[in-house]
Structure 1
Amino acid sequence: MFVFSEFETRIGLIQLVFPENSHAPELFNIIQTNAAEFTKWLPWVPKTDSVETELKFINDVRMKNAQYELLSLVILANRHPIGTIDLHEINANFHHAQIGYWLDPTYQGNGIMTQAVKQLAHHALHELGFHKLTIEADTLNVKSIAVAENADFHYEATLKDHIINEGEYRDLLLYTKLAD
């Protein structure tokens, strides 16, 4: 297992690791258990309908990780998958990327995602050569907004009617962080 980063929290050791096939069943179970809540914010949730679908996703992101098109990581708490975080929409020419994330609600409220975003942002801005990172959050997703703000991302704009989710146009808040 390749550990990208790790940190301690009040619930134990948190690791950001490259996805492995063995993570698929637990990730799938979290997604299915929380599908009603996750679907509000993550339009791909209904398409994740089996462990095999999650396994295919893991293999796809591993290939994209290897080709530097994506940096997808699984979040482990005490060696068990509890969510994911990634850099996507990578633009190598302009040195920017977007951060996306989700976390099992059982573990929310412990600062795990905020710290994971801080860790990933630090590596991206100081070691991987990115200049600008963004986070997009639905205006109704107060937990995602709190993560962006607590991870020291700055509000930049409201993107009006930027996505369609649950059959309606939704606004997104755009948060940014620049290299020092």
Structure 2
Amino acid sequence: MFSILVSSEVELRLMQQKNSHEIFQLVDRSRPYLGKFLPWVKYMKSLEDYKEVIQQWLLQLAENKGFQSGIYYKEELVGMIGIHPIDWAAKMTAIGYWLAEEHQGKGIITDCCQKVMQICFEEYELNRLEIRCDPANKRSRAIPKRLGFIQEGVLREAMNQNGQYRDSVVYGILKSEYKESL
């Protein structure tokens, strides 16, 4: 089983079919908060929806296109982090993450992003990482800034959030910049 220790309290674990109920419950009770920023939340309405998406995540891993993992804080699933399918020709990908509102402000996502950056740059030998955020999500936007990412621009109306087009702020970091920050 895919498991990566991030700190003494935080671990990343590969999501498997047996986790579908756990992730469904977390998203369902976090729906009002997560739905403000993440367009996919409104489509994930049943246990079956999660079984299908977990199968896609496992296929992504099997095809060497990246991974999606649950974030466990003190043995409890509190969010997710992963990378979008890797563009191996360009040697780049994007990190995506979300965390239940009640677990924010503890440095969990920052620590998890640092671990994912290490995997991407040191193990996968990628050259570029991106993080894209909703401009209104100040907490999410603070993460890439804290980790040395540079705001590169705004993709205008790049997201459809509950029928409204929203901008997406793009942050990027290169392997050379990551090495300098060590």
TM-score, length-normalised on structure 2?
0.91
Identity %: 26
Paired amino acid for 2:108:
I
Deviates more, 1:116-125 or 1:34-43: 34-43
Moved over 4 A (4+): none
Deviation at 1:57, TM superposition (A): 1.3
Equivalent pair of 1:115/1:151 in contact (CA under 8 Å): no
User: C-alpha offsets along residues 100-153 of structure 1, whole Å, 9 cap, x if unaligned?
Assistant: 011111211100001101110111011111100000101111111011212221
Q: Count the aligned residue pairs.
A: 176
Paired amino acid for 1:148:
P
Q: Are 1:160 and 2:153 matched, yes or no?
A: no
d(CA) in 1 for partners of 2:5, 2:151: 26
Deviation at 1:20, TM superposition (A): 2.0
Matches within 5 A, 1:130-169: 130-169=126-165
Paired amino acid for 2:147:
A
User: C-alpha offsets along residues 67-93 of structure 1, whole Å, 9 cap, x if unaligned?
Assistant: 112311111112221111111042000
Q: Are 1:47 and 2:43 matched, yes or no?
A: yes
d(CA) in 1 for partners of 2:98, 2:110: 11
Q: Gaps (5+ residues) in structure 2?
A: 177-182
Equivalent pair of 1:19/1:74 in contact (CA under 8 Å): yes
The RMSD of aligned alpha carbons is 1.4
Q: Gaps (5+ residues) in structure 1?
A: none
Matches within 5 A, 1:6-85: 6-8=6-8, 13-85=9-81
Paired amino acid for 1:129:
E
d(CA) in 2 for partners of 1:20, 1:14: 18
Which structure's residues are more often strand, by fraction?
1
2:168 matched residue in structure 1: 172
